[in-house]
Amino acid sequence: MSEQLRANTSASAPLLRVRGVSVTYAAQRSIADLLARRSASGIVALDSVDLDVNAGEIVAVVGESGSGKTTLARVIAGLIAADEGVVEVEGEGPNDWRSVGMVFQDPYETLDPKRTLGEFIAEGLEAQGLPMDRVDTALEAAELLPAAAFRDRVPEELSGGQRQRVVIAGALALNPKLVIADEPVSMLDVSMRAQILALIEQLRRDQGIAWIFITHDLSLAWAISDRVVVLYLGAVVEEGTAEQVLRNPAHPYTRALLAALPSTDPGAAGTHSLAAGEIPQGDTPSGCRFRNRCAHAIEACALTRPPLEVAPGGGAEHRVACIRAAELPPLS
Amino acid sequence: MSGSTTVTLSTRIRKRVSGGNRIMRMLLHRWDARVAIIILSLLTLSGVAPEALVGPLQTATTATADALLPPSGTHLFGTDDLGRDLLNLTVHGARISLVVGALSAAITLVIGGGIGMIAGYRGGRVDALLMRVADTFLILPTFVLALILAPILRELIGDQTEIFGIRTTLLTIVAVIGFTSWSSTARIVRSQTLSLRERTFVERARLVGLSPMRIIARHIFPNIRTVLLANGIVVIAGSILTESTLSFIGLGDPFQPSWGTILGNAQSAAAPSLGAWWFIAAPGCAILITVVACTVIGNAIDELLDRDVRVRR
Ligand SMILES: Nc1ncnc2c1ncn2[C@@H]1O[C@H](COP(=O)(O)OP(=O)(O)OP(=O)(O)O)[C@@H](O)[C@H]1O
Ligand code: SF4
Ligand SMILES: [Mg+2]
């Protein structure tokens, strides 16, 4: 019975539960706003986002620059508060958990140039009352060996890849159940990337750590993730297993992203090119937020926001927000 | 565990020292900074051991020479209206100027640095309030404040109190300079803190639960230390100028003549109309050289910082 029960609870209660999270950044009031006696309009960075992450799972969050990936990471980490919605880790609100770690995009910026690596890792331990011997354990877990040789060095003496390992060690030391990695390899050269990806994979396997892997690079998402969530202008437009989303994309935006990959067939790239317009700067379009760039847009697309629904012909966890998903031509 | 802590500490000290050495090395690469450092070293020597250089401070009763002698072999800088050797007075004045400068700068840096970091890091209402207070202090007229504070402080701490051999009158000047100049330091420190606050390493410290005060102590302060140093040196120059001006108009201590006091004496002895240019030249050049030397070093550190930032970006 207990086996059954455990399976049930883990299925119904994910490690991370994000529901209806919206974030609007206050914008500077422009002169036009002042003259029109408007309050500043603000930038909607996230619009009612849902996201589940199960224990030990690697979920890739993909999207172009400005789609809200970093904002989502900061909300989940508790660095900024959501204007609406809930974020729960193991059923607890942001003030109570200590089990979310974060790896930032720029390892050169994450380490204080004035402090040693040991001090960097010890900082979190001290703040959370954990024993200091975890410094070495964490350095070893991040494969910075021997730990004693790294403890007293300053960031200046390390390569970008080593720095990112130190940042990962800093997160590991605090015993996280979930680590959010915001474009963790985009600043590293190619040889380092594979190593960091392998480390993430290994930590998931050995310590059961769940990862949210944020990237704009679909090939990285394919290489590392179990599931993929596609963000566009602050909303989820498609989600599913890596296989479903990347092999069988149902949303025109996901298709366009895939077609823009250099490795795809150039003939296919033409039909789904992203060249049709940039991310809109001002207000999000009414109806489908992708419609001003979508090659398949029809009038009905302007009327209502398409909800996330089970993708045609896919499994139950493959969901897409497009009213024409069923009519789209199949990919070759 | 305690072993590893000690190692970390000693490394930190080593790194910190080498950071200071680095600034010194970079300064010595510039000829203007080199000259300024030599001048300030000589002045510091005068301030620390004036007796060794020119004998005890001459007073009206111990003066031996004739009044208003122009510079000569025996009196290199000439003599004043009481027959005191101006070289003697100027060298002894260095101590007053330097101590007043250093103490005022210390007050300025502690208050300005502390308030600037707190305002910049906390932001919001705390920031708005503290900056309003800083603005108020910024417009306080130094002279009026000195005139008001001098008798009050003298009343409060008595005439005979001494700190570092500096008597109440000069302490008043130190306090007044400190209280009127911290606000510009606070503004500089605040803007540095504002940009540091957005850096990822500060965000990460917040993420793992470090308290604001610890973040300030561990991440903000170490990263603005050099800015404070540069600002402190410039503040010393400003303090020396203010002290000279206050002493010149008679708010100084007649028993501890500073350069400003000597200038004041020259004024009341009508030195300009008597053609006794040396009476003005000795203290005047001392002030000028010191202030220029401090400013050169302060600016040089500032420029090195700028270059540092540019290289790192
Ligand atoms: N602190 C802020 N203040 C105001 N607007 C912000 C702020 N941070 C982000 N934004 C805006 O919110 C939107 C989402 O930004 P976010 O950084 O989350 O995107 P992203 O997907 O991480 O992009 P990138 O790939 O460039 O990192 C963007 O339009 C951005 O300009
Ligand atoms: S709803 Fe319409 S505009 Fe939006 S993605 Fe689907 S087809 Fe394109
Ligand atoms: Mg980002």
Q: Closest CB to B8: pick one of A110, A112, A118.
A: A118
| Cross-chain residue pair B207–A133, CB shorter than 8 Å | no
Task: Please state which of the four CATH numbers 1.10.3720.10, 3.40.50.700, 1.10.10.60, 3.40.50.300 is assigned to the domain occupying B27-44+77-312.
Answer: 1.10.3720.10
- Give yes or no for a contact between A182 and A70, defined as CB atoms under 8 angstroms apart: yes
- Per the DSSP assignment, residues forming a β-bridge with A60 are A213, A228
**CA atoms of B209 and A207, how far apart (whole Å):** 23
Give the domain CATH number at A92: 3.40.50.300
Task: Say which amino acid occupies A43.
Answer: I
The CA distance from A8 to the nearest CA of chain B, in Å, is 32
Backbone CA torsion sign across B247, B250, B253, B254: positive
Can you give the pLDDT at residue A21?
A: 93
Q: Which two tokens mark A180? A: 């959010």
Q: Which tens digit of pLDDT belongs to each residue from A116-143?
A: 899 999 999 988 888 888 888 899 888 8
Can you give the pLDDT at residue A41?
A: 67
- Give yes or no for a contact between B229 and B153, defined as CB atoms under 8 angstroms apart: no
Of the bound ligands, which one is closest to the alpha carbon of residue A322? Answer: 2
Would A252 be classed as within a structural domain?
A: yes
Residue of A nearest to B207 (CA): A79
**CA atoms of A14 and B259, how far apart (whole Å):** 76
Q: Which atom of ligand 1 is nearest to the CA of A65?
A: 25
The CA distance from B216 to the nearest CA of chain A, in Å, is 13
Can you give the pLDDT at residue B125?
A: 92
Q: Which two tokens mark A202? A: 């290994």
Residue nearest to ligand 2 atom 6, measured at CA = A322
> What single DSSP character describes residue A261?
S
Task: Choose, out of B201, B210, B226, B308, the residue to mutate when testing the contact with A (most A CBs < 10 Å).
Answer: B201
**How close is the Cα of B150 to the center of ligand 1, in Å?**
55
Can you give the pLDDT at residue A6?
A: 44
Q: Give whichever of A30-44, A272-286, B214-228 has the largest mean pLDDT.
A: B214-228
Residue nearest to ligand 1 atom 16, measured at CA = A68
| pLDDT of A331 above 90 | no
Nearest to A225 by CA among A210, A237, A238: A210
- Give yes or no for a contact between B85 and B155, defined as CB atoms under 8 angstroms apart: no
**CA atoms of A84 and A90, how far apart (whole Å):** 19
Can you give the pLDDT at residue A197?
A: 93
Residue nearest to ligand 2 atom 3, measured at CA = A291
Query: In chain B, which residues have their Cβ closer than 8 Å to the Cβ of A95?
Result: none
Domain range holding A294?
3-327
**Chain A contacts to B (CB-CB under 8 A):** 77-79, 98, 102, 104, 106, 109-116, 118-119, 122-124, 127-128, 131-133, 135-136, 151-152, 154, 167, 170, 174
Residue B121 vs residue A93, higher pLDDT: B121
Exposed/middle/buried for residue B1 (C-beta within 10 Å: 0-12, 13-18, 19+): exposed
Is the shortest distance between the CB of A232 and ligand 1 below 6 Å? no
Can you give the pLDDT at residue A144?
A: 84
Can you give the pLDDT at residue A280?
A: 60
| Cross-chain residue pair A170–B204, CB shorter than 8 Å | yes
- Helices B142-157 and B168-197 pack at an angle, to 10 degrees, of 120
Query: In chain B, which residues have their Cβ closer than 8 Å to the Cβ of A110?
Result: 200-201, 204
Would A332 be classed as within a structural domain?
A: no
Exposed/middle/buried for residue B170 (C-beta within 10 Å: 0-12, 13-18, 19+): buried
Would A74 be classed as within a structural domain?
A: yes
**How close is the Cα of B192 to the center of ligand 1, in Å?**
23
Q: Which residues line ligand 2 (CB under 6 A)?
A: A 252, 288, 290-291, 294, 296-297, 301, 306, 322-324
Is the shortest distance between the CB of A25 and ligand 1 below 6 Å? yes
Q: Which atom of ligand 2 is nearest to the CA of A289?
A: 4
| Cross-chain residue pair B1–A127, CB shorter than 8 Å | no
Task: Kindly state the percentage of chain A with pLDDT values over 90.
Answer: 39
The CA distance from B21 to the nearest CA of chain A, in Å, is 15
Residue nearest to ligand 1 atom 28, measured at CA = A66
**How would residue A296 be classed by pLDDT, with cut points 50, 70 and 90?**
confident
Query: In chain B, which residues have their Cβ closer than 8 Å to the Cβ of A135?
Result: 4
The CA distance from A213 to the nearest CA of chain B, in Å, is 17
Best mutation site among A23, A41, A43 for ligand 1 pocket (most ligand atoms within 8 Å of CB): A43
> What single DSSP character describes residue A92?
B
- Helices B124-139 and B86-122 pack at an angle, to 10 degrees, of 150
**CA atoms of B218 and A113, how far apart (whole Å):** 11
Per-residue pLDDT of chain B (313 residues; tens, 9 = 90+): 444 444 444 444 444 445 667 788 888 888 899 999 999 999 999 888 888 888 888 887 787 788 888 888 888 888 988 889 999 999 999 988 888 888 999 999 999 999 999 999 998 899 999 999 999 888 888 778 777 877 787 777 776 667 666 677 778 888 888 888 899 899 999 999 999 999 999 999 998 888 999 999 999 998 898 889 989 998 899 888 888 888 888 777 777 888 988 999 998 888 888 889 999 999 999 999 999 999 999 888 888 776 655 444 4
Residue of B nearest to A79 (CA): B207
**Chain B contacts to A (CB-CB under 8 A):** 1, 4-5, 7-8, 11-12, 15, 199-201, 203-211, 214, 218-219, 222-223
| Cross-chain residue pair B201–A102, CB shorter than 8 Å | no
Residue of B nearest to A124 (CA): B208
Number of A–B residue contacts, CB under 8 Å: 75
| Cross-chain residue pair B7–A154, CB shorter than 8 Å | no
Is the shortest distance between the CB of A80 and ligand 1 below 6 Å? no
Q: Which tens digit of pLDDT belongs to each residue from A53-83?
A: 999 999 999 999 989 999 999 999 988 889 9
Q: Closest CB to A123: pick one of B11, B200, B208.
A: B208
Query: In chain A, which residues have their Cβ closer than 8 Å to the Cβ of B215?
Result: none
> What is the Cβ-side half-sphere exposure of residue B76, based on CA atoms within 13 angstroms?
7
**How would residue A263 be classed by pLDDT, with cut points 50, 70 and 90?**
low
Can you give the pLDDT at residue B129?
A: 95
| Cross-chain residue pair B204–A104, CB shorter than 8 Å | yes
| Overall domain count for chain A | 1
Q: What is the largest CA-CA distance in chain B?
A: 75
Q: What is the pTM of this model?
A: 0.79
Best mutation site among A232, A251, A290, A303 for ligand 2 pocket (most ligand atoms within 8 Å of CB): A290
Predicted-assembly ipTM surpassing the 0.85 threshold:
no
Task: Choose, out of B11, B204, B214, B311, the residue to mutate when testing the contact with A (most A CBs < 10 Å).
Answer: B204
Nearest to B214 by CA among A123, A20, A6: A123
